[in-house]
Structure 1
Amino acid sequence: MQIAYRARDITEAHIVAGLLNANGIEAHVGGHYLQGAMGEIGAAGFSNVHVEDEDLYRARELVREYEAGGHATVAADGGDDKPDFYARWFLLALAIVAVFLINLY
């Protein structure tokens, strides 16, 4: 296994590992126990994302895209998942119910 990414903290390491997993690259996060040795202080530099040797080049490409702030392409079913769409409809429905309740009382 090779280190594809050296994260600042364990949370970022899991984000990158999730990105790699979503693109078909099996990734493992290391450094959990090293980070816990620092106690409540947010330790940095102990978390690494590991991938298989044959996936290293593709993983580093995705990491480079992640660091550049680009949108890494996820190998999905072609579905267009937009969480904001559902949040907007929920807020609209909530506002309508609130107006109805205010007029009721």
Structure 2
Amino acid sequence: MKVVYEAANLIDAHLVRHALEAEEIPVFLKGEALLGGMGELPLFGTILVCVPDVVWPEASDIVAALPLNQPPEPVDEEAPELPPGWLPA
């Protein structure tokens, strides 16, 4: 198995995992059970997203296309005004 992504946190690891599994690529999260351990284990950066060697090129392309660690898009400040008494859903 090869590491295709080193996750900053559990949420990132599962987002990558689900994206890869949606393309029918088997995924193993190494270090998931160690997250938040005490002692010499770090609290962050311990989860490695691993895939089989034969699908690593395809998996790395999928991970590269994901919008991970990017700032959110700016909010449109010129949103249309709603009639009085209406709240956005």
The TM-score, its normalising length taken from structure 1, stands at 0.57
- Matched pairs, number: 68
Identity %: 29
1:103 alignment counterpart = none
Deviations 1:31-75 (A, max 9, x none): 12321304xxxx221011110000100000001000477xxxxxx
1:6 alignment counterpart = 6
Distance (Å, rounded) in 1 between the aligned partners of 2:30 and 2:22: 18
Higher helix share: 1
Greater Cα radius of gyration, structure 1 or 2: 1
For 2:65, the aligned partner's letter is E
1:36 alignment counterpart = 36
Q: Is the 8 A contact 1:10 1:31 kept in 2?
A: no
For 1:12, the aligned partner's letter is D
1:57 aligns with 2:57: yes
Q: Where do 5+ consecutive residues of structure 1 fail to align? A: 70-105
Give the secondary-structure state (helix, strand or coil) at the position aligned to 1:24: coil
RMSD (Å) for aligned C-alpha atoms:
2.3
Higher relative contact order (CA 8 A, sep 6+): 2
Distance (Å, rounded) in 2 between the aligned partners of 1:67 and 1:6: 15
